């Protein structure tokens, strides 16, 4: 079960770039969750999947001896959801265009791949928590960038 969840129902086996596939599936799911159940449901899903991710990554690492294999994408799901949470909140009042959702996807992927600053620091810790944490930080950074972009462009 931990393998199924950590690979986010085997999305992590899609090639090339399993992290990008995981983020894309997460983006679509976040939009659906936010649109049909609201931003509070998305916020709850972030917390729930973060906890599940931390547990399943810990189990996978202890079972396989591998720290952060490419097929584990549950961390990308959480990070991508964090990156679009402000869009889900603002959607209610401002009708945020889909362009910003796509922009959040692109920015998150760039930060997750390049791993600047605190993102890289977390990634280098080599613990199950750090597998999740680097994507959480990338998601938070993306959320801030997206908020600034909306405020400047609108």
Q: pLDDT tens digits, residue range 5-56? A: 999 999 999 999 999 999 999 999 999 999 999 999 999 999 999 999 999 9
pLDDT band at 94 (very low <50, low <70, confident <90, very high): low
Residue 141 sits at φ, ψ, to 5 deg, of: -60, -40
135-152: string of b/e by CB count within 10 Å (b at 16+)?
A: bbbbbbbbbebbeeebee
Chain-wide mean pLDDT for the chain? 93
- How far, in Å, CA of 96 to CA of 51, rounded? 29
- How far, in Å, CA of 138 to CA of 133, rounded? 8
Q: Which pTM value belongs to this model?
A: 0.94
Can you say how many angstroms the Cα of residue 29 is from the centroid of all Cα atoms in its chain?
A: 11
CB hemisphere CA count around 45 (13 angstroms) = 24
Residue 147's region, left for phi above 0, alpha for psi from -120 to 50, else beta, is alpha
3-state SS, residue 71: coil
CA angle in degrees (0–180, nearest 5) for 12-128-48:
70
In the chain, the percentage of residues whose pLDDT exceeds 90 is 80
Lowest average pLDDT, out of 6-15, 49-58, 94-103, 107-116, goes to 94-103
């Amino acid at each position: 079960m931990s393998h199924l969840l950590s690979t986010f129902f085997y999305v992590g086996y899609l090639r090339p770039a399993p992290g990008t596939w995981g983020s894309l599936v997460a983006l679509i799911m976040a939009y659906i969750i936010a649109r049909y159940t609201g931003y509070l449901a998305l916020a709850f899903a972030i917390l729930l999947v973060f906890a599940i991710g931390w547990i399943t990554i810990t189990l996978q690492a202890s079972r396989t001896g591998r720290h952060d294999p490419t097929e584990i994408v549950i961390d990308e799901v959480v990070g991508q959801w964090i990156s679009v949470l402000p869009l889900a909140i603002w959607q209610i009042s401002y009708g945020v265009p889909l362009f910003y959702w796509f922009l959040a996807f692109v920015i998150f992927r760039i930060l997750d791949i390049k791993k600047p600053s605190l993102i890289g620091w977390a990634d280098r810790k080599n613990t199950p928590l750090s597998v999740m944490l680097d994507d959480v930080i990338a998601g938070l950074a993306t959320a801030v960038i997206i908020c600034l972009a909306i405020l400047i462009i609108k």
